[in-house]
Amino acid sequence: MRVRAPLFLVLSCSLAACADVPRPTAPERDDPVLLEVEVVAPVMNEILIAGRTSPVHVRAREAGGRVHGVGFVARAAGGGATTAVDSALAEVGPLADTTIAFQLRLPPTLPNGIQVDIYGFALGPTGQSTFSAPRHVRAYVCPPGAAWC
């Protein structure tokens, strides 16, 4: 009998202690998510060679440290329609400020001298997103045996 009483007491205390313990939740913030994003590289009107890769650097910021994703989309404009050329996404964070380097691959089938617009984008915690102003570059096809390529 003496063994059962302490065991029953310990079991009762542990069940009572764990019965109504609230689980921790993520803190809720009322301030708005103010995402900022910019394409740092390549520079405006830079000449890129079709069929090769070029670095694209995208910087994203949010004062509250709520950047969750960074990426870019490159589109070729021509004939009134735009065609997606390349895109990439990196899941990060949550962070307040980050710069991510990507590789843009321009397909060799692009028309010579076409303008390619590169947009950076940033993703927030609950589906918020914002796009940067476009960074315009030119894509040229390197002819076989050209010395300038």
Q: Which domains does the chain have, with CATH numbers?
A: 36-140 (2.60.40.10)
Residue 26 DSSP symbol: P
Confidence of residue 143 (pLDDT cuts 50, 70, 90): confident
- Predicted confidence at residue 97, as pLDDT, reads 94
pLDDT in tens, 77-106: 876 667 889 999 999 978 899 999 999 999
Residue 49 CB-density burial (10 A; 0-12 exposed, 13-18 middle, 19+ buried): middle
Tell me the C-alpha distance between 118 and 112, whole Å: 17
Is the pLDDT at 40 greater than 70? The verdict is yes
Residue 39 DSSP symbol: E
- Predicted confidence at residue 14, as pLDDT, reads 65
Beta bridge partners of 105: 53
Residue with tokens 């650097």: 57
- Predicted confidence at residue 23, as pLDDT, reads 67
Contacts for 90 with CB less than 8 Å, ≥ 6 apart = 69, 70, 71, 100, 102
DSSP string, 41-73: ESPTT-EEETTSEEEEEEEEE-TTS-EEEEEEE
- Predicted confidence at residue 10, as pLDDT, reads 67
Confidence of residue 123 (pLDDT cuts 50, 70, 90): very high
Tell me the C-alpha distance between 16 and 6, whole Å: 15
Overall pTM > 0.85: no
Cis (ω within 30 of 0) for the bond into 42?
Answer: yes
Q: Average model confidence (pLDDT) for the chain?
A: 85
